[in-house]
Amino acid sequence: MSQTIVIQHKQRSMLLIVIVAALLALVAPTALNTTTHAQPSCDDPFEGEIIRFRTSFWTLTDFCQKSVPLSEFRSGGPPPDGIPPIDEPLFETIDEARAWLQPQSPVLSVEINGDARAYPLSIMIWHEIANDIIGDVPVAVTYCPLCNSGIVFERTVNGNVLRFGVSGNLRNSDLVMWDDLTQSWWQQLTGEAVVGSMTGTVLEFVPSQMVSFGAFAEQYPDGQILSLNTGFSRSYGSSPYAGYESSPRPFLFEGSIDDRLPATERVLAGKIGGEAIAYPFSTLEVEGVINDTVGGRNIVALWQPGATAALDGRNIDQSRDVGMAAIYNRELDGQVLTFSIADDGTITDDQTGSVWNVFGTAIRGALEGSQLRQMNGAPHFWFAWAAFEPETAVFGLS
């Protein structure tokens, strides 16, 4: 079969595997043989559904149990774990990592029980999941390039430590993960099992920050960096999605795009006290800090420059500076702090004049060493967050 795909000039640098993925998705079978599935809990799990993914691999998946229609899933092209997760991650010191990372290199930062680790997006963009143990806590470090969503979860569920993989399927263009115990499907952006016997179970979120390597090194001088020695041969440092974030229509996204913001506008978004809120990076870059009250909580959104985009230019380290941001509770020891940007660009609190960084840590002044509590929020592309949280309030818009 031959087929011509017309690609806009700004998307021509997209890796060939992504184009092949689209072709495979288009020819994914719509008729299924369900005999390979063990004991479904209903007569026909696919009755009335439009199926656009291959089913031969999913011998343990109970497709009768689901919280969303199966028609909402589509193949992204690669088979299960065709994008291979990192199951035995190796790490190196900050000094060793300086040989191949730049201060502006974007990383996903996680700290648990004093164990701080950074996962460069230049690696994660090729693997999407790293199954790891940080501070004695089994976690899944995840990154969905199509949604620019970096989220970390605990992977112990009902006493079982799960291994997560890349299903090869997408929903709202977001990574759908799978576990090796029940082959249930998990939505990366929400952490919820949406298909299989685990349906309705929500993974525990672990606080993380998408920051620069330089910021991580300053915050955690003894931290560890995910090594290039992954066991796979990939073009680490180059982006297979160059030009993607300037696309007017996200790749393989079929839903309606909320036109309050451009589809691939970066937003710092979260759900706080039951209320969904999004802070556009374009606004954060101007404001620096935003003091707010959401869901009855006094919070602050902090932004600092210095981290490059992983989905802009071919060379990640030479891409444009998009900065880094996180949301924190601004109550400290019973006092509600108000934050401002000083003349030199540093973040200070109005009450004591202490200086803070994007990790919510006071690094100088009367409150030096104090730590704000991080709230449930992370960077995403707007279209993806809005698809799962359509009632989100956008800061700065009426």
Model confidence pLDDT, tens digit, residues 385-398: 999 999 999 999 96
Q: Which candidate, 305, 292, 309, places its Cα nearest to that of 375?
A: 292
Q: How many domains does the chain have?
A: 2
pLDDT of 248 above 90: no
Co-location of 307 and 201 in the same domain: no
For 58-111, how does the pLDDT look when each residue is reduced to its tens digit (9 = 90+)?
A: 999 999 999 999 999 999 999 999 999 999 999 999 999 999 999 999 999 999
Residue 322 lies in domain: 264-394
Is residue 314 assigned to a domain? yes
The alpha-carbon radius of gyration of the chain (Å, integer) is 21
Same structural domain, 105 and 221: yes
Distance CA 139, CA 161 (A): 9
Structure tokens at 299: 């919070």
Average pLDDT, rounded, for the chain: 91
Those residues whose C-beta lies under 8 Å from the C-beta of residue 115, and which sit 6 or more positions away, are 134, 135, 136, 224
Rounded-to-integer distance, Cα 118 and Cα 243, Å: 25
Report whether pLDDT(33) > 70: no
In a domain, 337, yes or no: yes
Residue 377 confidence (pLDDT) above 60:
yes
Using the 3D structure, point to which of 196, 211, 226 is the last residue of a domain.
226
Geometric angle at alpha carbon 379, from 374 and 384, rounded to 5° = 130
Same domain, 371 and 278: yes
What are the pLDDT digits (tens) for 37-63?
Answer: 456 779 899 999 999 999 999 999 999
pLDDT at residue 290, rounded to an integer:
98
Dist. CA 184–CA 230, nearest whole Å:
26
Percent of the chain whose pLDDT exceeds 90: 86
**Residue 149: its pLDDT value, please?**
98
What is the pLDDT at residue 262? 96
245 backbone dihedrals φ, ψ, rounded to 5°: -75, -5
Question: How confident is the model at residue 228, as a pLDDT?
Answer: 98
Whole-Å CA distances, 317 to 163, 285, 334? 31, 20, 41
Sign of CA dihedral 134, 266, 10, 6: positive
Say if 118 falls within a structural domain: yes
pLDDT score of 38: 53
Give ∠ CA 304-307-308 in degrees, rounded to 5. Answer: 140
* CA-closest candidate to residue 202, choices 192, 212, 194, 210: 192
DSSP per-residue codes, 282-322: HHHHHHSEEEEEETTEEEEEEEES--B-SSSSSBGGGS-B-
Instruction: State pLDDT tens for residues 183-211.
Output: 999 999 999 999 999 999 999 999 999 99
Task: Specify the pLDDT at position 31.
Answer: 31
| Residue 251 belongs to a domain | no
Residue 145 belongs to a domain: yes
Most confidently modeled range among 26-35, 46-55, 243-252? 46-55
Does residue 11 surpass a pLDDT of 90? no
Domain-embedded: residue 135: yes
Which CATH number goes with the domain that contains 112?
Answer: 2.102.10.10
